Amino acid sequence: MPDIITTNPNEVLNIPEKDCPMMVFSDNIRSFFSWGIKLHQHGVYNHFMWLVRPGILATQDTTFKEVPIEKYLEGNHRLKFIRGKWDKATRIAIVLLLKEQLNLPFIQRLYDPLQIVGKFLHLNWLQIPGHSRICSDFGYILGRLDQEYDLKHPSPTEVNLYTKAHPNKYEVYLRFIPD
């Protein structure tokens, strides 16, 4: 499927299982906090998620969890879907890595507010010890599959730029812009 821009939520809801998982970048166009993240990181997206199967995202909110994609199709979010040029075994491995994280105890799936302070101060190492993360930390899964991936505690912008810099490995699948 070529890079398509759509305003139709059904295009997103009808992404087939065979194309999952995919990386998803989100921009909440009506959020001051989102605007601040994008301005500080010099990017266009403020959130990073994984489309693990049709209609279901793995995302870091208060905790890392699965949510229906409809939450992001209500008119406040621009979405960019990136597909890796992976074989079936690699796609399965990604889903298993995400499930492993989703099955961690509640405390290990918590959002890391200290890391946001670290991002603001350009101190990427500043975070709560343990398993707490921010959304784009889940880009680490690429590092398990892609030996060139070397980002540590990246921002959504950094993960997005990485995929753009490697068109031989990643391609834009779909862009959703609310009507």
Per-residue pLDDT tens over the stretch 114-152: 556 665 666 666 566 665 565 455 667 788 888 888 887
Q: How far is CA 115 from CA 23, 153, 178, in A?
A: 21, 9, 30
Q: What percent of the chain has pLDDT over 70?
A: 72
**pTM for the complete prediction?**
0.83
Question: What would the DSSP string read from start to end of the chain?
Answer: ---EEE--HHHHHT--GGG-SEEEEEEETT-HHHHHHHHHHTSS--EEEEEEETTEEEEESSBEEEEEGGGGSSSSEEEEEEEE---HHHHHHHHHHHHHHHTS-GGGGBB-HHHHHHHHTT-TT---SSS-B-GGGGGHHHHHH-TT---SS--HHHHHHHHHH-TTTEEEEEEE---
**Top-level CATH class of 4-176?**
alpha beta
Better-predicted residue by pLDDT, 66 or 28 = 66
Listed by start position, the domains of the chain span: 4-176
Cis peptide before 21 (omega within 30 of 0): yes
Mean pLDDT value across the chain: 81
pLDDT tens column, 17-46: 999 999 999 887 654 354 445 555 656 677
pLDDT of 45:
78
Burial of 26 (0-12, 13-18, 19+ CB in 10 A): buried
